[in-house]
Amino acid sequence: MDRLNKILKKQITATFIAIFFGFLVATVILAVAGYNPFEAFAVLFKGIFSRPKYMANVIIKATPIILTGVSVAFAFKVGLFNIGAEGQFIIGTVAAAMAGILLDLPAVLQFPLLILIGMAAGALYGAIIGFLKAKYGIHEVITGIMLNWIAFYFCNYIVNTHTFHQDNSTGSKNIREAGFDIIYNWKKSAGGKSFLKENPTLMEIIGKTDLNIGIIFAIAAAIIITIVLNKTTKGFQLRAVGFNKDAAEFAGINIKKNMIHAMLIAGALSGLAGALMVTGISHKLSTLGTFENYGFNGLSISLIATNSPIGCIFAGLLFAGLLYGGGSIQSEIGAPSEIINIMIGTIVFFVALSRFIPVLVDKYGRRGGKHVK
């Protein structure tokens, strides 16, 4: 009984229960709508796992949202709600694309420079939020949302300026190839082409998809952030400010500086996601009709991962898998792919609810214990 209670109290258990409930609700809805839920799930899993190419696509889709997820999770850990991740992501794409079109350097320099510029732009954009909060006490959700829209229209403005606009299109010019992802440039090279021809599996995974090195950045970012938070003095300061800024202030920690630093780091992560999007997948900017939700999805992912940066990797993969595999539900059995959104919504909902599970375990667990006595 005690062991069961302990297991139930673990956050990871709660998350799995939430995922289970997500599937359960989807089952009910599919059944009510007249589809065979098990067939639908079979299709969903086939759409994710049946071919290496599909799995590669899931990873590609997961990369940006893992990073924005880590961005949000990090901000959460220091007591800030980074709803501005969307704007930081957009600014990251815009800065990387502008630099990619304007700069003309060898690939060894161009690619890392674009990544750095995207990160720096996102970092500064995030720092604005931190600065306004530290200096004037404006809530980060307000400034975050406003800055999202500013980034949105700034992107559309840049796309349509003479320097960047591609004639007869709704997007910008492509960035120079020197700025493309390392894997992309390798597979286009003579050596890469011949190597892939000999390895059909790799050909399918790399040659036929946009697979890029972004996922390495994402995983590295999650690990680095975990280390920074738990092992460094900076992380110690940031967490102290996040948990109790009055005590932190009294202990001589500069809370304003730390708020700005926290948003700077969170912004850099979202900006990195944006830069990787440009170098690895889109290679250009498009006129935005609506938000692309890379930042907002980061909020859901952080929630599912209960603000653990490492958890964000898995939550991001789950999220991307459901989204990508969900597409085949519609094409194969005709059920609307919105069912996937319902599932994701349900999972987030139950993860949020799961904070109550330890409380319930305490209440009923103890009651059960008394009976035994």
Partner 1 sequence: MRLTLVSCVTVFLAKSCFILYVKQEEERVDQGKDCAVRMKGITKRFGHFTALQEVDLEVQKGTIHAILGENGAGKSTLMNVLYGLYQAEEGSIEVKGKRVNIKNPNVAIGLGIGMVHQHFMLVENFTVAQNIILGQEVTNRFGVISMAKAKEQIEEMVKKYGLHVDPDAKIEEISVGMQQRVEILKALYRGAEILILDEPTAVLTPQEIQELIHIMHNLTKDGKTIIIITHKLKEIKESADICTIIRRGRYIDSVKVSDVTEEELANKMVGHAVKLVIQKEKAEPKEVVFEINDLVVENERKLEAVKKLNLKVRKGEIVGIAGIDGNGQKELIEAITCLTKVKSGSIKMNHEEIQNTSPENVIRNKIATIHEDRQKRGLVLNFTVAENTILETYKKNEFSKKGFLNKEAVLKHTKQLIKEYDVRPEDCENQLVRGLSGGNQQKVIIGREIANEPDLLIAVQPTRGLDVGAIEYVHKMLVRERDKGKAVLLISLELDEVMNVADTIAVIYDGKIVQSFEQGTVDEQTIGLLMAGGNKNGQIK
The smaller minimum CB distance to partner 1, of residues 194 and 233, is found at 233
* Cβ 139 to partner 1 shortest distance, Å: 17
Residues 31-90 contacting partner 1, CB under 8 A: none
Counting contacts by CB under 8 A, is residue 250 touching partner 1? yes
* Cβ 254 to partner 1 shortest distance, Å: 7
Stretch that binds partner 1, among 89-97, 116-124, 184-192, 229-237 (CB under 8 A): 229-237
How far is it, in rounded angstroms, from Cα 235 to Cα 39? 47
The sign one gets for the Cα dihedral 129, 131, 134, 137 is negative
The smaller minimum CB distance to partner 1, of residues 28 and 247, is found at 247
How far is it, in rounded angstroms, from Cα 318 to Cα 303? 13
Task: Work out which of 16, 243, 356, 364 binds partner 1, going by CB under 8 A.
Answer: 243
Counting contacts by CB under 8 A, is residue 253 touching partner 1? yes
Counting contacts by CB under 8 A, is residue 137 touching partner 1? no
The amino acid at residue 228 is V
Give residue 283's region: left, alpha or beta (phi > 0; psi -120 to 50). Answer: left
Q: How many CB atoms lie within 10 A of CB 3?
A: 7
Counting contacts by CB under 8 A, is residue 331 touching partner 1? no
Task: Name every residue whose Cβ is closer than 8 Å to that of residue 233 and which is 6 or more positions away in sequence.
Answer: none
Task: Work out which of 10, 139, 231, 355 binds partner 1, going by CB under 8 A.
Answer: 231
Residue 103 backbone phi and psi in degrees, to 5 = -80, 150
Counting contacts by CB under 8 A, is residue 223 touching partner 1? no
Stretch that binds partner 1, among 133-141, 192-200, 235-243, 355-363 (CB under 8 A): 235-243
Task: Work out which of 106, 252, 289, 334 binds partner 1, going by CB under 8 A.
Answer: 252
Structure-token match 């800024």, residue found: 245
The smaller minimum CB distance to partner 1, of residues 24 and 228, is found at 228
**DSSP codes joined into one string, 266-305:** HHHHHHHHHHHHIIIIISS-B--SS---HHHHHHHHHHHT
The token pair at 283 is 């290679």
* Cβ 228 to partner 1 shortest distance, Å: 9
Task: Work out which of 234, 291, 310, 332 binds partner 1, going by CB under 8 A.
Answer: 234
The smaller minimum CB distance to partner 1, of residues 205 and 265, is found at 265
Nearest to 343 by CA among 364, 329, 360: 329
How far is it, in rounded angstroms, from Cα 19 to Cα 345? 10
The smaller minimum CB distance to partner 1, of residues 28 and 227, is found at 227
How far is it, in rounded angstroms, from Cα 128 to Cα 137? 12
**Residues at the site binding partner 1, with contacts judged by CB under 8 A:** 231-234, 236-237, 239-240, 243-244, 246-254
